[in-house]
Amino acid sequence: MADLLSILPQQLVFGVTLGMVYGLIALGYTMVYGVLFMINFAHGDVFMIGAYMGWAVLVAVIDAKVMPINPLLVVPLMMLPAMLFAGVIGLGLERLAYRPLYLRGATRLGPLISAIGASIFLQNSVMLTEGARMKVLATYRVFPRDWRFDILGVNVSVLVLVIAGIAGIMMWGLNALVQRTTLGRSMRAVAEDREIAAVMGVNVWGVVATTFFVGSALGGAAGVLVGLYYTQIDFFMGYSAGLKAFTAAVLGGIGNIRGAMLGGLILGIVESLASTLINPAFKDAISFAVLILVLVFRPGGILGEALPDWKRV
Amino acid sequence: MLRLEKIMTYYGSIAALKDVSLEIGKGEVVCLLGGNASGKSTTMKTVLGLVKPRSGSVTFAGERIDGLDTQAIVSKGISLVPEARRLFGRMTVWENLAMGAYTRRDRPPAEFEEDVARVYGLFPRLKERRDQYAGTLSGGEQQMVAISRALMARPQLLLMDEPSMGLAPVFVDQVFDIIQTINRQGTTILVVEQNASVALSIAHRGYVLQNGRIVMADSAAALLRADGVRRAYLGEA
């Protein structure tokens, strides 16, 4: 028991960090759902592509041997291209896999199937170009293993703090974007009433595309963070991470941005507690049990509202 | 200022507007009367490009606008007060006004503040409610926001779809007073109404739509006297 208590705070820190990363990915699902009422099942693969981009930059930086391996330099160098590339992939998905369907009057099912197809396409593209074997990130070159310290008796690594910090800043930034800028306001307008948003002069498809870009860029950033943390990535990693993040989005209330962040945090904490207190093998079962329980009592998710029928999944 | 010529609009294979031609001159208040499903709202949607006419033309300020995107059409100076208001309920009153000014988002902020002050002048209540979510307001207050939101674009032409719908009678008069005030300040207005008497009382001219066809067009005073209008819309036998 004493053992358990001593590792509990550590596990909590881990759970919060994991939860913030889930939240970061979940934002992509929830933002797209907000404006198009569809689940972009290829989002997990956009996240995976972000991880690959980060890996490629890290390998290049280490091989080039032209600069010191300083996290302040290397991390942004990994994040920026990963976010940009993931964002562009998101734009491509919207333009090629979804918009043509909606413009031809597709209902719910078409875009969903298209999303699954896009997901398989992205996975296979990466598998064929990068190989099916996993890639290893030399995270220890950026964040040496002894970069750890104690806060209030909890031993944390600098890497975990950096991951939590970056995820936190991004969520804060997105929240500010959505709540306080004209672009964010037009996103909310499109989410609430697309026709009236158009009557206000909003370029609706432009806003949809921007939403895909931003959501995908955040997913790409999460990919880099997860790659750095787990140090191993493969072309299939988007599947399980995507499923978890999607769960987080539904848990918090799909379509609700703060809900996605909250759902991610709850999921991360539940997982880490379940691993510690019960059994790591059960962590997924327990996470999904929590999801089911929440949905039984609050079908719209924790921060979700009762949606009109046409907006339901 | 706005001219519709021989407009045919279809929903699938059903004709919603049949050969509709109408004209609104600068500075006028024109009302479009008609019962349910007579094509009033479809006329507005056609003007705004929300539905595309199959044939015919829409001209605004001398320029063909049918075929343009909604976004492009409203940027030319047309605003809508939609049926049932359709505010952004999860935005504050102030944010709704900001959305109304969307086509003018590149203008200096001072102009925006000026416009906000102007609509607060028309509806002092909104100033008190500025940070409240629009969805929590009463029906009358929501209508004030809907009108203000449309005015924020500084429209040359204001389209109003059933502004009296769902409002208490005392508030209906107030809304139409405001419409008249807005018109006197130089905005041309096309108002669609089921409540013919109050609409005709402030309009210069009117059209009557029936099953997607214009069946009458005259001055407001003449329409008020016309037998058909009295029977159909003024509840007289």
B69-94 pLDDT, tens digit each = 999 999 999 999 999 999 999 999 99
What residues form DSSP beta bridges with B217? Answer: B207
Contacts of A31 (CB under 8 A, 6+ apart): A187, A211, A214, A215, A257
Domain that holds residue B109: 88-154
Q: Which of B103, B134, B154 is the last residue of a domain?
A: B154
CATH number for A257? 1.10.3470
Across B155-177, b (16+ Cβ under 10 Å) vs e yields bbbbbbbbbbeebeeebbebbbe
Is A193 touching B (CB cutoff 8 A)? yes
Quick one: pLDDT at residue B60? 97
Tell me: pLDDT of B234 over 80.
no
For A132, counting Cβ atoms within 10 Å of its Cβ (0-12 exposed, 13-18 middle, 19+ buried), the class is: exposed
Quick one: pLDDT at residue B52? 94
Spell out which residues of chain A touch residue B75, defining contact as CB-CB under 8 Å: 201
Contacts of A51 (CB under 8 A, 6+ apart): A82, A223, A224, A226, A227, A233, A237
Residue A192: which of B48, B88, B102 has the nearest Cβ? B88
Spell out which residues of chain B touch residue A195, defining contact as CB-CB under 8 Å: 50
Helix A182-192 and helix B93-100: axis angle, to 10°? 100
Is A195 touching B (CB cutoff 8 A)? yes
Positive or negative CA dihedral for B104, B108, B109, B114?
negative
Q: Which of B97, B128, B154 is the last residue of a domain?
A: B154
Quick one: pLDDT at residue B236? 55
User: What are the structure tokens assigned to B38, written together?
Assistant: 């007579």
Residue B102: which of A188, A193, A202 has the nearest Cβ? A202
**ipTM reported for the complex, 2 dp:** 0.92
Q: What span, in angstroms and rounded, lies between the C-alpha atoms of B28 and B31?
A: 10
Instruction: Determine the distance in angstroms separating the CA of A142 from the nearest CA of chain B, rounded to an integer.
Output: 44
Tell me: the pLDDT tens digits for B27-70?
A: 999 999 988 888 999 999 999 999 999 999 999 999 999 999 99
In a shared domain, residues B23 and B115: no
In a shared domain, residues B101 and B130: yes
CB contact at 8 A, B223 and B63: no
Spell out which residues of chain A touch residue B74, defining contact as CB-CB under 8 Å: 199-201
Q: How confident is the model at residue B227 (pLDDT cuts 50, 70, 90)?
A: confident
Q: Is residue B237 part of a domain?
A: no
Instruction: Give the number of other CB atoms < 10 A from CB of residue A278.
Output: 12
Q: Do A193 and B86 touch (CB under 8 A)?
A: yes
The DSSP letter of residue B217 is: E
Tell me: pLDDT of B230 over 80.
no
In a shared domain, residues B61 and B99: no
Instruction: Determine the distance in angstroms separating the CA of A198 from the nearest CA of chain B, rounded to an integer.
Output: 6
Spell out which residues of chain A touch residue B100, defining contact as CB-CB under 8 Å: 200
Quick one: pLDDT at residue A4? 72
Quick one: pLDDT at residue A306? 57
Residue A187: closest C-alpha in chain B: B99
Tell me: pLDDT of B237 over 70.
no
Quick one: pLDDT at residue B148? 96
Domain count, chain A: 1
Spell out which residues of chain A touch residue B93, defining contact as CB-CB under 8 Å: none
Domain that holds residue A87: 2-297
Is A194 touching B (CB cutoff 8 A)? no
Q: Are strands B63-64 and B55-60 parallel, antiparallel or unpaired?
A: antiparallel
Residue B85: closest C-alpha in chain A: A196
Q: Which amino acid does the sequence have at B46?
A: T
Instruction: Determine the distance in angstroms separating the CA of A244 from the nearest CA of chain B, rounded to an integer.
Output: 28
- Residue the block writes with tokens 């995507």: A242
Task: For chain A, 313 residues long, give each residue's pLDDT as a single digit of tens.
Answer: 567 777 788 888 889 999 999 999 999 999 999 999 899 999 999 999 999 999 999 999 999 887 778 888 999 999 999 999 999 999 999 999 999 999 998 888 899 999 999 999 999 999 999 999 999 999 999 999 889 888 877 888 999 999 999 999 999 999 999 999 999 999 999 999 999 999 999 999 999 999 999 999 999 999 999 999 999 999 999 998 999 999 999 999 998 999 999 999 999 999 999 988 888 888 888 888 988 898 898 888 888 875 555 454 4
Q: Are strands B2-11 and B55-60 parallel, antiparallel or unpaired?
A: antiparallel
Name the CA dihedral angle for B217, B220, B222, B227, rounded to a multiple of 10 degrees. Answer: 80
In a shared domain, residues B178 and B123: no
- Residue the block writes with tokens 């693969």: A45
| A positions 154-183 inside 8 Å of B (CB) | 182
> Average pLDDT, whole number, for chain B?
92
Helix, strand, coil % over all residues of chain B, rounded to 5: 40, 25, 30
Spell out which residues of chain A touch residue B92, defining contact as CB-CB under 8 Å: none
B166 against A124, higher pLDDT: A124
Is A188 touching B (CB cutoff 8 A)? yes
Q: Is residue A305 part of a domain?
A: no
Instruction: Give the number of other CB atoms < 10 A from CB of residue B118.
Output: 14
For B218, counting Cβ atoms within 10 Å of its Cβ (0-12 exposed, 13-18 middle, 19+ buried), the class is: middle
Q: What span, in angstroms and rounded, lies between the C-alpha atoms of A211 and A277?
A: 39
- Residue the block writes with tokens 């600069």: A67
CB contact at 8 A, B74 and B55: no
CATH number for B17? 3.40.50.300
Q: What span, in angstroms and rounded, lies between the C-alpha atoms of B126 and A33?
A: 32
Q: Is residue B82 part of a domain?
A: no
Q: What span, in angstroms and rounded, lies between the C-alpha atoms of A226 and A228?
A: 5
Is A100 touching B (CB cutoff 8 A)? no
B52 against B236, higher pLDDT: B52
Q: How confident is the model at residue B5 (pLDDT cuts 50, 70, 90)?
A: very high
User: What are the structure tokens assigned to B184, written together?
Assistant: 């006197």
- Residue the block writes with tokens 């598998």: A127
Q: Is residue A307 part of a domain?
A: no
Q: Which of B154, B182, B197 is the last residue of a domain?
A: B154
Q: Please count the residue pairs, one from chain A and one from chain B, whose beta carbons lie less than 8 angstroms apart.
A: 54
Instruction: Give the number of other CB atoms < 10 A from CB of residue A234.
Output: 18
CB contact at 8 A, A8 and A154: no
| B positions 64-83 inside 8 Å of A (CB) | 69-71, 74-75, 80, 82
Q: Is residue A122 part of a domain?
A: yes
Residue A203: closest C-alpha in chain B: B71
Spell out which residues of chain B touch residue A203, defining contact as CB-CB under 8 Å: 69, 71
In a shared domain, residues B184 and B227: yes
Residue A188: which of B50, B90, B149 has the nearest Cβ? B90
Q: What span, in angstroms and rounded, lies between the C-alpha atoms of B102 and A186?
A: 9
Is B91 touching A (CB cutoff 8 A)? yes
Domain count, chain B: 2
Q: What span, in angstroms and rounded, lies between the C-alpha atoms of A248 and A274?
A: 16
Residue B99: which of A189, A195, A203 has the nearest Cβ? A189
Nearest Cα to A1, choosing from A224, A204, A280, A277? A277
Residue A196: closest C-alpha in chain B: B86
CB contact at 8 A, A188 and B91: yes
Q: Do A189 and B71 touch (CB under 8 A)?
A: no
Residue A189: which of B50, B80, B88 has the nearest Cβ? B88
Q: Which amino acid does the sequence have at A167?
A: A
Q: Do B71 and A203 touch (CB under 8 A)?
A: yes
Is A307 touching B (CB cutoff 8 A)? no
Q: What span, in angstroms and rounded, lies between the C-alpha atoms of A183 and B105?
A: 10
